[in-house]
Amino acid sequence: MADVAIVSAGQSVFTRSCGESIRELAFEAFKEALEGLDITTGDIDASIICSAPEYDKQRSPAGLISEYLELTPKPSFYVETVCSSSSTGLRVAWSLVKSGLHKMVAVIGFQKMSELSSRDAAERMGRGADIIWESPFGLTMPAGYAMYAQAHMDKYGTTEEHLAKVRVKNSHYGATNPKATYRKELSLEDILNSEVITSPLKKFDCCANADGSSCIIVARGDVAKGITDKPIWIVGLGAATDTMTMAGRELLTGLKCAQEAARQAYKMARLKPQDIDVAEVHDCFTVSEILAYEDLGFAKPGEGVGLIEDKETYADGTIPVNVDGGLLSKGHPIGATGGSQIRTIVRQLRGEATEAQVKGAEIGLVHNIGGIGQYGNVTILRR
């Protein structure tokens, strides 16, 4: 059973309106991923295309994109777990390579959200919840995570200021990220004084819709070593699914899918939370990052706010988190997000994250959530 490595990663600029077709958008990330590699599209055995449906008119985008990227007649597969689609794609790619069925696979995530109004996009996202018992009654993404925020505040005394400090950090790093949608540093007052979206979440507590793409190229260990002198090894994979209905959840102060995925990933990698040097977590809302601190074991339940208060999740802290600006600054093109997070960790472990490099980073973690905590993927990478 061969080891599996990431040989390259690419990403488009995330933007509110790209002005491109989805095939052109996917090409942007694919092009960056191929830069500097002595391979051709013919060397890629299979492609996995990842997005959430209903944001553009194209059905079966895998065939369209694989044709445009000259990956045919090699097989192409379509993978969807809402916002965690491209990290699920990486898991599938790892499995295809590990099984011996393929030796090199491209995982391409994309989303073009600008074809819809914000209202229509929110309605599509709402349909990621139960369309009979929950979404018709107003369970949008902000409403769902607002319930998590309220539960965390009620149980642990978390405040709106704690949430805002997450955005302060992520805007600080987003301001230096040339791929981010929002490159403006925000003050605590800017965030606390922004309009309420769904109490206690305000405008700047929420990430924004975006157009974007990402690409991860995965290869069998011996093949990877022949392509790059900086392979990044996939050492831990965890995945879990919680109930679709919020009413069926055991917990509203953490995400069970993330906790279980983290347990699996740490076990597979034979590592513990304290071994992680740098992390990317799914901060679709400010509360989401605090929940992730606790779900991943970086802090005990209720103590995640201490990490942001003490700036331990800044680049020079004990556990740097989202030092590329996170979803809050980069934007959230659903199918591309997980791949973007993985690209950030690949760059960190290679010492190439010039905007905010974590010194000596050898082990990185990616936490990618689909929907309002339905799907959880945790991936651990090693230099």
Q: What is the mean pLDDT of residues 361-366?
A: 98
Cα 372 to the chain's mean position, in Å? 14
Give the pLDDT confidence score for residue 49 in this predicted structure. Answer: 98
Give the pLDDT confidence score for residue 2 in this predicted structure. Answer: 63
With a pLDDT cut of 90, the percent of the chain lying above it is 87
Q: What is the Cα–Cα distance from 262 to 274, expressed in whole angstroms?
A: 13
Q: What share of the chain is helix, strand, coil (3-state, %, to 5)?
A: 40, 20, 40
Q: What is the mean pLDDT of residues 129-149?
A: 88
113 torsion bin: left (phi>0), alpha (psi -120 to 50), beta (else)? alpha
Q: Residue 123 pLDDT > 90, yes or no?
A: no
CA trace torsion 161, 164, 168, 174 (10° rounding): 170
Cα 290 to the chain's mean position, in Å? 15
Q: Rounded to two decimals, what is the model's pTM? A: 0.95
Q: Which of 375, 51, 75, 80 is nearest to 213 (CA)?
A: 51
Q: Which of 362, 289, 297, 290 is nearest to 324 (CA)?
A: 289
Q: What is the mean pLDDT of residues 198-218?
A: 96
CATH code for residues 4-116+209-227? 3.40.47.10
Cα 145 to the chain's mean position, in Å? 16
Q: Which of 159, 184, 155 is nearest to 172 (CA)?
A: 184
| Token pair 């010039």 in the structure block, residue | 354
Average pLDDT over all residues of the chain: 95
Residue 57 — pLDDT band, cuts 50, 70, 90? confident
pLDDT digits (tens, 9 = 90+) for 219-266: 999 999 999 999 999 999 999 999 999 888 989 999 999 999 999 999
Q: What is the Cα–Cα distance from 271 to 289, expressed in whole angstroms?
A: 21
The least confident of 51-60, 74-83, 165-174 is 51-60
Q: Residue 59 pLDDT > 60, yes or no?
A: yes
Q: Residue 267 pLDDT > 50, yes or no?
A: yes
Q: What is the mean pLDDT of residues 48-66?
A: 90
Cα 177 to the chain's mean position, in Å? 16
Give the pLDDT confidence score for residue 1 in this predicted structure. Answer: 46
**Token output for 123:** 């309605």
Q: Residue 31 pLDDT > 80, yes or no?
A: yes
Cα 182 to the chain's mean position, in Å? 17
Query: Active-site positions?
Result: 83, 332
Q: Residue 7 pLDDT > 50, yes or no?
A: yes
Residue 155 — pLDDT band, cuts 50, 70, 90? very high
Q: Residue 39 pLDDT > 70, yes or no?
A: yes
Alpha-helical segments (H) within the chain: 22-34, 61-68, 85-98, 118-126, 141-156, 160-174, 188-192, 221-227, 256-269, 286-295, 304-309, 326-330, 337-349
Coil/strand/helix, residue 369: strand
pLDDT digits (tens, 9 = 90+) for 299-344: 999 999 999 999 999 999 999 999 999 999 999 999 999 999 999 9
